[in-house]
Amino acid sequence: MLQYFHKLRRDIGRPSVHYSIGALTLGGFIAGVIFWGGFNTALEATNTEEFCIGCHEHKENVYQEMRDTIHFTNRSGVRATCPDCHVPHDWTEKIARKTAASKDVWGKLFGTINTRDKFNAKRRELAEHEWARLKANDSLECRNCHDFDYMDFTTQSLRASEQHSTSLAAGEKTCIDCHKGIAHNLPDMSGIEGY
């Protein structure tokens, strides 16, 4: 076994005997395209609602709760899917988020939230993660669709325009500060500012 590793190390360090540098470069390039493309395709496949609700934890809890809300059913038929709010669009942040989300696999394997009661017991903790994330990135996922610069205060209700034109405009508050629980049920809110 050890001998095999020594041989491998020696071979990797030696120049190629049989293949031309052109073939190796081109081969490397093509293999690179295939692997890179494959990686991104696989990544995008995990970035769909279908994938998310492939687990019953998501399908029976958060997905069902979302169905009544305005981000799922509304007059114009534009709707948000899970990754629209829960995964950043830019590549670097997306990879960071996906890496963090790999903990979900752990949870799935060990059944951390595999019943409604277990999920509800963890709801506050899970919600706090999302609030912290959106607070830290200034509600980036909200703003991917809701652009402050194009908000028409005249068509908003009085109280909405009042708050958007002051606290939000000044940057004192960000979307998630007021709009918690807009797509899923709220956890126990005791001790949270504004509740």
> Would you tell me which residues interact with other proteins (CB under 8 A)?
68-70, 123, 157-159, 162, 181-182, 185-189, 194-195
Smallest gap from residue 120 Cβ to other proteins (A): 9
Cα 72 from Cα 66, distance rounded (Å):
6
Comparison of 107 and 181: residue with beta carbon closer to other proteins: 181
Give the C-alpha separation, 120 to 62, whole Å. Answer: 11
138 vs 162, beta carbon nearer other proteins: 162
Minimum Å gap between C-beta 104 and other proteins is 23
Take residue 104 and report the two structure tokens written for it. 């979900």
Which of 90, 72, 82 is CA-nearest to residue 137?
A: 90
**69 or 114: CB nearest other proteins:** 69
How far apart are CB 58 and other proteins at their closest, in Å?
A: 19
Which residue lies nearer to other proteins by CB, 93 or 162? 162
Q: How far is the CB of 37 from other proteins (least distance, A)?
A: 41
- Amino acid type, 148: F
